[in-house]
Amino acid sequence: MSHDADATPDTPDTPGTLDTPGTPGTPGTDTTPHLDFEGTTPYEDYVQADVLTHLQHPLSDDPGEMVFLVTTQVMELWFTVIVHEWETAGRALREDRIPVAVDALKRSVRELEALNASWKPLGQLTPAQFNSYRAALGEGSGFQSAMYRRMEFLLGDKSASMLVPHRGAPRVHAELEKALQQPSLYDEVLALLARRGLPVPAEVLEREPGRKYEPSEAVEQVWAAIYGDPDAHAELVRLGEALTDVAELVWRWRNDHLVATRRAMGAKTGTGGSAGVAWLEKRARGQVFPELWTARSHV
> Domain for residue 34, yes or no?
no
**Alpha-carbon span 154 to 183, nearest angstrom:** 8
271 annotated among ligand-binding-site residues = yes
- pLDDT band for 143, please (50, 70, 90 cuts): confident
**Alpha-carbon span 295 to 217, nearest angstrom:** 9
| pLDDT score at 276 | 72
> Domain for residue 157, yes or no?
yes
Residues 58-86 have a mean pLDDT of 95
**Alpha-carbon span 112 to 79, nearest angstrom:** 9
> Domain for residue 193, yes or no?
yes
What 8-state DSSP symbol labels residue 37? -
> Domain for residue 16, yes or no?
no
The helix/strand count (H/E) of the chain reads as 13, 0
**Which tens digit of pLDDT belongs to each residue from 5-19?**
444 444 444 444 444
Q: What is the CATH number of the domain that holds 177?
A: 1.20.58.480
What 8-state DSSP symbol labels residue 200? -
262 annotated among ligand-binding-site residues = no
| pLDDT score at 277 | 82
Does position 275 have pLDDT exceeding 90, yes or no? no
Domain count, the chain: 1
257 annotated among ligand-binding-site residues = yes
Q: Which SS3 state, helix, strand or coil, does residue 210 take?
A: coil
Q: Residue 250: CA atoms inside 13 Å, Cβ hemisphere, count?
A: 26
> Domain for residue 46, yes or no?
no
> Domain for residue 73, yes or no?
yes
- Degrees (nearest 5) of the Cα angle 140, 262, 55? 35
When computed from its CA atoms, the radius of gyration of the chain, rounded to whole angstroms, is 24
Q: Which SS3 state, helix, strand or coil, does residue 234 take?
A: helix
**Which tens digit of pLDDT belongs to each residue from 236-258?**
999 999 999 999 999 999 999 99
| pLDDT score at 223 | 98
**Which tens digit of pLDDT belongs to each residue from 163-222?**
999 999 999 999 999 999 999 999 999 999 999 999 999 999 999 999 999 999 999 999
> Domain for residue 27, yes or no?
no
Report the predicted TM-score, pTM, of the whole model to 2 decimal places. Answer: 0.85
> Domain for residue 39, yes or no?
no
- Pick the closest to residue 100 from 179, 228, 192 (CA basis): 192
The span from the first CA to the last CA of the chain, in angstroms, equals 47
Give the structural domain span for 201.
61-265+274-298
Position with higher pLDDT, 52 vs 267: 52
